[in-house]
Chains A and B, each alone.
Chain A
């Protein structure tokens, strides 16, 4: 299979136009770090954007950074970190969960749209993408959005590009919002709560005025394997419910005190500060207890998004029904479920449980043969599915880009 390493947007146009003419669909990749997510594709060539890796402009005072889509995420993160800034949505690093070496590119980060724990406060990738240049499936370069935070000029096509898994357009350059890093972080730890009580504690915390920026629950079983990300935290054999407060030092400390009082009915919370807290949240963000090289590495992993107050009931039932493990983030609104090997990855149980509460589930990690028979992305109601297909076709009528990634059976 040909791999075409494009050098600029013109190259992308040329490759896409030729692919249209010859009716040969393209797989779009950066570093390929998330290539194992989705269905096997019916593509005959690879369009590799990793050489489109320039940092076009970084303007810390404007809180924006403009980058080519192939810019390595690791480099960009260290560049903005040096100015004490960050992507507030805490992009997930999928490398350890999927067992892939690279961290990935900016384009991949946006196309996958996998936000971390701070999503409950700061939004997702879609909320931080201000503008984009991209090549559509018509082979035309177009731009959408701009380089300012406040902009309602024309349709907000950025929202569609974020989380589109490369099926609408090939992004070539993007402008993202960056935010100041908080001066301090404090994490409150509650021990020994069952899922239902933990969900209640997280709901109380998120319904408080203390500006909680992370709310997660790790049941006891989440520690059956590796716990290295939790190095300094004692008592890992117990359930852990964790709540994060960030901001200027005095404020984070003050709010941690107030929140501890509010949560007294759930037990006495202990405090973890700064680096230890950051390590803990990176562990949760990257779902390290389910890492590919850990004891559950052979299990399928689902990412279930649901109304936050429904999380515990859904997760508890699912774990009981399948003998699997769950981790809760987003105050219960995000459930990572590692489920024991089964040919259908327990899809009927997962989807039925998710549907029952108005949630949805994505099969993030599973062997290729499982992904052949199971829908990786959540099946949608007929009307929404039809509209989504019309939207897709409005960008890429010949289905040239990542054909088959989102829907089962295209590669057959």
Chain B
């Protein structure tokens, strides 16, 4: 394992039996799992290259139990790793050898549907898709739609600030969450927000969203729901050059059109997807755009025409426009199956997740090609082109010595390039352990210290999900120290009035 996790606390490990007994007193029955065989299911999340069995798994089913578990762990200096459905692609739920794995899977009830206030109150273990399904009969849905939406939990979505294909138009999780009930590491239960559009005071909900399970354990969430657009149609446009596809994306946005989704695939991804799902993708193009427009029929029809005109002007070589739901779904089928499709052509792959300014797309692709040569590993690229979010899939074989290390080095170079081009390390998968050690590429020590000070405000002992997000852990007392600079309000050279 290339990533070092915090050293295990031997005194905690030595007290394992006692800890298991104490946890059983809080969560009775089968809610505490301590057998090696049963714990295997929890030893990794969606980042399967990393595995670590936890000290013990606890599956509470009430907020009270969550609170008591955290309080007990805080009192005894025991680390805790929260987990939803375990679909994180960045290792956010990777267990610790000396830590309690706190699974929220039993929190799977939708508590309230309030159509008048356009809000759903739900427990965190409910899947993303289940929320949309629960309100579909009234024409509503929950907008963020990560690819794992069948399996991923809404609690995990809040922890990771998950995106999806439609977030260009409808926003990420943070733009669609109104409030929550959260349990701090101390065991304290707090309620933040509710069904109002804004919360009073500092925007705690905003900073908890995307905090990767380091600030608290969420036990209830209020999300906002929207009416489904009347209709949706898609264009599938092929280009002989990646640059032309990038230009097309820029011109669509420049024309003031915000599509519901705008995805790009490069040649290796197109070929892999076509071989897998037979969506009718053109195989002689270098880049394929799938552009979806949604809204009232009259608007969609008009925008389809405008986008088609822009695509032609950018030199598209093929352009198909969906005329039925079946056809639209077929266009998407290949894109949605891109990851498993790549899985068929390569024994293993690493899925990267950087964001760049849209205009840097051709440059980034050229760099990825160079790196692919350098590392002698294939790479298929799928992008959320509308918002510059890249998902290069690096192909490797874990059984060949040295390939995983080469793949990881390749991935790290791609993410460094994203930062170099004015972008960021992760657009939607989170930092977790995967990009933890790259954080200094984007942030200075001062930047990271300020983030860790915030962590101290929520969890002063640093017991909640340690080893994730931050490459270096500091004690809160050290971070809070003020370096007083000598001087008074003198500033001879600053203009004063």
Q: Which residues of A contact B (CB under 8 A)?
A: 2-7, 11, 14-15, 17-22, 24, 45, 48, 51, 59-64, 84, 113, 119-120, 123-124, 126-127, 136, 138-144, 146-160, 162-164, 168, 179-181, 183, 203, 206-211, 247-248, 250-251, 254-255, 258, 305-310, 330, 333-334, 358-360, 362, 377-378, 380-381, 383-385, 387-388, 390-395, 397-398, 406
Would you call B202 and A154 a contact (CB within 8 A)?
A: no
**Distance between Cα atoms of A398 and B462 in the complex (Å):** 23
Interface residues on B, range: 35 or more
Q: Which residues of A contact B450 (CB under 8 A)?
A: 136, 138, 140, 142, 144, 157, 394-395
Contact of A148 among B295, B388, B431 (CB under 8 A): B388
**Distance between Cα atoms of A181 and B229 in the complex (Å):** 20
| Closest chain B residue to A151, Cβ basis | B424
B137 within 8 A of A: no
**Distance between Cα atoms of A15 and B453 in the complex (Å):** 22
Would you call B487 and A152 a contact (CB within 8 A)?
A: no
> Known: A143-B443, A160-B207, A209-B227. Contact between A45 and B458, CB under 8 A?
no
Would you call A21 and B303 a contact (CB within 8 A)?
A: no
B63 within 8 A of A: no
Stretch in B33-41, B52-60, B186-194 with 4+ CB within 8 Å of A: B186-194
Would you call B196 and A157 a contact (CB within 8 A)?
A: no
Contact of A157 among B256, B451, B482, B495 (CB under 8 A): B451
**Distance between Cα atoms of A123 and B227 in the complex (Å):** 16
Would you call B423 and A152 a contact (CB within 8 A)?
A: no
Q: Which residues of B contact A397 (CB under 8 A)?
A: 480, 482
Would you call A207 and B227 a contact (CB within 8 A)?
A: yes
Q: Which residues of B contact A384 (CB under 8 A)?
A: 190-192, 201, 204
| Distance between B361 CB and nearest chain A CB, rounded to angstroms | 11
Would you call B431 and A62 a contact (CB within 8 A)?
A: no
Given A119-B197, A154-B442, A208-B227, 20 additional A-B pairs, CB 8 A: A60-B254, A61-B253, A84-B256, A124-B197, A126-B203, A127-B175, A144-B450, A149-B388, A153-B426, A156-B210, A206-B118, A207-B118, A207-B227, A248-B299, A250-B299, A254-B299, A308-B195, A309-B117, A310-B117, A381-B190
Query: How many contacting A-B pairs (Cβ < 8 A)?
Result: 312
**Distance between Cα atoms of A252 and B489 in the complex (Å):** 57
Tell me which of A144, A306, A378, A394 has the highest count of chain B C-beta atoms within 10 A of its own C-beta: A394
Q: List 17 A-B contacts (CB under 8 A).
A: A6-B494, A7-B495, A11-B491, A45-B489, A138-B483, A147-B422, A152-B428, A154-B439, A159-B207, A180-B256, A211-B229, A248-B303, A307-B194, A308-B117, A310-B117, A358-B195, A394-B454
Q: Which residues of B contact A21 (CB under 8 A)?
A: 484-488
Interface of chain B residues 136 through 150 with chain A (CB within 8 A): 139-140
Would you call B295 and A251 a contact (CB within 8 A)?
A: yes
Would you call A152 and B485 a contact (CB within 8 A)?
A: no
